[in-house]
Amino acid sequence: MNPQNFEDSPKARLLARLNDGSVDRRQLLKGLGVGALALGFGGALAGCSEPLGAASGASASAGGGAGGGVALASVPSLTNEYFTLWNIGGTEAAKALGLTFRMQSYEGSASAQIDQLRSAKAAGASQVITFPINNDAVRQMGSILADQNIPMDTSFTATPWMVPSEPDFKDLYTTLFTPREVLGQKTLSEAVFKAIGGKGNVVYIQGSPTDRTSMVREKGFDMAVAGFPGITVLAKQDGKENGQDTRPVVQTMLSRFDNIDAIICHNSSSALGAVSVLEEKGNDHIKVGGTDEQAAILDKLIQGPNVVAVQSIFGTWLGGYMIVRNYDLANGVKMDPVEHMIFQDALVIDTKEAAKEYKKIATSPTTGFDWKKMSRHLNPDDWDTQVALAPVDPVKFFTEDLNTPQPAGFKFPDALQTSLDAGGIKKFTDLYAQHAKKNPYASAIALTTTGTTVFGMKF
């Protein structure tokens, strides 16, 4: 669908009704005609090319404090299923906090995103959450928004040796969020290895070579291999993070090797491409795993026989919680410098029972997350993030995860270095562990083989 033609379509009107609360998520899924978990597969999201000031959606009182305005999600595409999860969580969270949620695509162009953000305040935005297509543009984005007094959250990998507490951001770069990609992909890979008896021949489908997320996930895969002496890696190849481009890669691998036992993929889109090839060939031997909790990949895990593990990175939660973090900062919540870079928990779903339960929860009328309870402004003593978090040690993250040595003469901002020297990472790791109490996916977590999340959490 051309985003320019979306605003007056029936789907746009249905999404507007989701924003104002007159239709629930089950009705939305049915009305969009895409079914199951997360809307995507070519569907578009509300407000894709309208100016921000034209946003639909009602605002509900958040119980005091600074509020109002537009919570803008700036994303590279409106047709990617992952950002549909953001739309669901962001819509709920914004409404709970008295904001209007809007999602705007920059069509994969960093320069287009910069141009859009220059007019964010004039268009009514009071905060921005974003998935940067080019992490090296984050500094410019943060400075542009800071000059407009707009707080910003970013997600996934970072620009090496740049931290949110730098002076240019004027204390308005609220949080850089990233799943613990190395640990998550390691855990996913181990689940697939166990499904093939701990030994066998494996092919790894990489993400895009310029994507830092691809690099750190592959590192997690390599770490898992190192722990399983019986695993042999036959080949690695780029699947360009989508099923269409992964299909010929898998076809080639099947021609080259007649003894493949498992295929582990950078994401679930690639995993679905791999599975489609295996199904066409009637191959029920090769086991498959991938990251991202897409509806279709969960269905494949439930149905079997190929998919045996899927990593959920709680996309619905992240789309809403980033709004909560910005809301708290706007309402005067003071965060330690080490809190501005955060690892988020993930879940490896590796049983049919866990996949069924996860999908049942994900397709319920509401997300199950209590967005107000997450807020430290609204709950100073008993806030509950509901998905576990931990501060990022920036030195280890940049040198080990992102494999970039510290530049000569580099220094962190004084306040961050002081917190690091005083044991801030451990202090806030312990604090956040105490404030992850009630996850709506607890019953699905309990049905995995370990009964825990990637962080080792039980709920």
Pseudo-torsion of CA 138, 141, 144, 148, nearest 10°? -110
- Please give the C-alpha separations between residue 141 and each of 100, 213, 259, in angstroms, as whole numbers: 22, 20, 48
pLDDT of the residue at 7: 32
Residue 238: pLDDT band with limits 50, 70, 90: very high
Tell me: the pLDDT tens digits for 267-297? 999 999 999 999 999 999 999 999 988 899 9
pLDDT of the residue at 36: 34
pLDDT of the residue at 64: 40
Tally of CB atoms within 10 A around 200: 20
Residue 67: pLDDT band with limits 50, 70, 90: low
Using only C-alpha atoms, what is the Rg of the chain?
21
The answer on pLDDT for 37 being more than 90 is no
Tell me: the pLDDT tens digits for 405-448? 999 999 999 999 999 999 999 999 999 999 999 999 999 999 99
At residue 72, the 3 state secondary structure works out as strand
pLDDT of the residue at 18: 42
pTM, two decimals, is 0.85
Inter-residue contact 430 to 336 (CB < 8 Å): no
Inter-residue contact 29 to 295 (CB < 8 Å): no
pLDDT of the residue at 44: 34
Residue 387: pLDDT band with limits 50, 70, 90: very high
Tell me: the pLDDT tens digits for 76-115? 988 888 899 999 999 999 999 999 999 999 998 999 999 9
Q: Which residue has the higher pLDDT, 3 or 442?
A: 442
Question: What percentage of the chain exceeds 90 in pLDDT?
Answer: 78
Nearest CA to 235 out of 213, 266, 208, 257 is that of 257
Tell me: the pLDDT tens digits for 173-200? 999 999 899 999 999 999 999 999 999 9
Residue 205: pLDDT band with limits 50, 70, 90: very high
3-state helix, strand, coil in the chain (%, to 5): 45, 15, 40
Report the Cα 404 to chain-centroid distance in Å.
23
Q: Which residue has the higher pLDDT, 41 or 255?
A: 255
Close Cβ partners of 423 (under 8 Å, ≥ 6 residues apart): none
Catalogue all structural domains in the chain, each as residue range(s) with its CATH number.
3-180+315-374 (3.40.50.2300), 182-312 (3.40.50.2300)
What does the angle CA 230 – CA 233 – CA 238 come to, to the nearest 5 degrees?
A: 155
Laid out side by side, the sheet with 152-155 consists of: 100-105, 70-75, 125-130, 152-155, 173-179, 341-344, 389-391
The answer on pLDDT for 209 being more than 50 is yes
Inter-residue contact 438 to 385 (CB < 8 Å): no
Nearest-10 crossing angle of helices 81-96, 315-330: 40
Residue 126: pLDDT band with limits 50, 70, 90: very high
Provide the greatest CA pair distance for the chain.
64
Tell me: the pLDDT tens digits for 329-384? 999 999 999 999 999 999 999 999 999 999 999 999 999 999 999 999 999 999 99
Tell me: the pLDDT tens digits for 211-226? 788 999 999 999 999 9
pLDDT of the residue at 16: 40
* Number of residues in the chain: 459
